[in-house]
Structure formats: C-alpha cells, structure tokens
A and B are shown apart, each in its own frame.
Chain A
C-alpha cells in the first residue's frame, strides 16, 4: 500500500497517475514516435505514458522544456531551478518541488537554500538576489499574476541582466505548465512505512 503525501518534502516521491497511462503494447505509431521508444529503449515513465494520451502536446513540450531550463547563456541553472521551485510551492506541486529542489541542491552542492524554502516558505532566509528571484516568481505564479513593476525593478537592482529576467519569466511560467500536469494528473506517493 502507499500513502499520498500532503506536505512538501525533499525526498523525491513516486508519482501515481490518476488516469490510466497509455499501454505501451497498444501504443500507436505516433505515440511510440513521441515517446522515442526503440527496441533498445523501452523504459518510459508512467508520467510520460500518461501524457502520451495527448501526443501532439507531448511532442512539442519536451524540446521547449529543455530549451527553457538548459538553454545556453543567460540565467544560471540553479536560478532557473529556483523559478521552478517557486512556482511549484505556489501551485502545491509536491513532486515538482522535490525534484527541482534536488536539482538545485546538486548544482549548488548545498541544500541550504532549499532547506530554508521548505522550512520557512515565504520567510525563507535568502540572499538579496535569491530573494528578488523568489518574490518575483511566486507573484508571477499567482492567478491572476501578482508580479509588479517594483518587483521587476528589484530584479535589476539585484544585478539580473535583461536576458536573466527573461529566463526567470520563462522558467517560472514553464512550471505553471508542468505543475498543472504533475499535480493535477497524479498523486505523490510513498510506500507505507517510508512516509516522511
């Protein structure tokens, strides 16, 4: 049996779909193509198999995701992850928050920032630059957006270039997308006895 997690956690949970994923054995040619399944690569996550129900969206989203999160120049990887984490905290996406906190910690070789975010939320103890990024990204993630010209000016005051601000907007908005798939279409779960 599994327990559905209700609180943010550093430990990446398992993702359990709320709808039936595509059965690889019955997948169409278009689905196999979008899933990039080949005889030597048949491992596909349940999440991707779930999204394979809408194959046209799946096919365009993966390259867009990679371009926004890993594109050359502009904002560094850790700060893009901070945008992703901020959106995930606002949208309550426990799975995305755990995955991207882990990536942030791996890049920074420190859990200090993400520990503070999980422990203290909006009151987290952040550097002035991370604080400006976090406040802007949280506000942009609200519905409607609550991001202001003042918050944008604070990004510039904290030293962000125009391209870095654009990258922050893109990575934060992207998780407005990802959270609405991950948090909506499945549950973050942990086998009983491993709940943390």
Chain B
C-alpha cells in the first residue's frame, strides 16, 4: 500500500507500513481532494489579481505565523519574486499590498477579531470584491491544511 503524494501526507512524514498509514488509508479520497484544493487556491487557472508566486508567498507567511517552518519552506520555494512578503515582518511595498498583508495576518492569526472594517479597508485600497474572496479562500485553505498536518504529526508522535 502506498499513500498518495500530497503536501499534508509528505509534511507529516508517514512511514510505509505504519499504523498511521493504515488509518489514513480509510480516508485517502479526503487527502486527494485536499491536494486538489491546494491546486485550486495556490495554482488556479484564473488568478484574478493574485499570481501564483504571490499566493505561494502568502501561504508561506501564514505557515510562518502558525509556527510551521517546514510548510513555510515548501511554499516559499514557489514564491519567486514575491518571496520577501513571506516574512511576517514584511509589511508590503505599496498601499494595496500593505492592506492585503494586514488582512491576511489578521484572518490567519486573529480570526475572531475580523470585522466589516477589515473588508472595507481592502476595498478602499482598490481590491475588487472577487479578489477579496480569493484572498479569504487562500487563507482559509492554508489554515485548514496546517491543522491537518499538525494533527497528523500529533497522532504520529503520541502513539502509545
């Protein structure tokens, strides 16, 4: 038996023949669909205002905010010219990017504090409604994937 090649499974580093591999084999389609979702939010055909390298930089930044440096490095590899933005201390070079990064950080790390004013700030910085939805989907997916990986690592490390 071999598990599909997905980011979540690779990051959790699940050994062939392990009990955890057998457990995951009951949910393979979920891991395959999770990988399809990564393609859709990180490398979509229709990018809107956010090219693939910028999306990868944002994903790396969110991973860093979550303290997952291995996942940060994986996404950083695709960040190209946008790599500087993956550093959570970087606040963006222009007004639009500053608004985008402030929004992404808050959605990732202080979700409950997000309010309508945060969406209005993006609109005022010139971000279109469709591109606001794209940012939220990217952030939301990466936040999900990070927790799946964190959970798998805990299952592995805490085995009786």
Contacts and interface: CB of A to CB of B under 8 A. Distances in A.
A184 B129 contact: no
Contact of B112 (A91, A153, A177): A91
A184 B40 contact: no
Interface string B71-110: 0000000000000000000000000000000000001111
Contacts of B152: 166, 169
Contact of B33 (A63, A147, A163, A166): A63
Interface string B3-17: 000000000000000
Nearest to B131: A53
Contact of A180 (B24, B34, B37, B139): B139
Contacts of A148: 154
A153 B158 CA distance: 7
Contacts of A92: 111-113
Given A173-B148, A180-B107, A185-B119, A54 B140 contact: no
Q: Which of A56, A163, A178 counts the most B-chain CB atoms under 10 A from its CB?
A: A56
B33 to A, nearest CB: 4
A143 B27 contact: no
Interface residues of B, number: 60
B147 A145 contact: yes
A176 B77 CA distance: 25
Interface in B17-33: 19-20, 23-24, 26-27, 29-30, 33
A56 B34 contact: no
A156 interface: yes
Q: Which of B68, B112, B113, B151 counts the most A-chain CB atoms under 10 A from its CB?
A: B151
A177 B144 contact: yes
B26 A74 contact: yes
Interface of B: 19-20, 23-24, 26-27, 29-30, 33-34, 36-37, 39-41, 44-46, 48, 65-68, 107-114, 116, 118-120, 123, 129-130, 132-134, 136-137, 139-141, 143-148, 150-152, 154-155, 157-158, 160
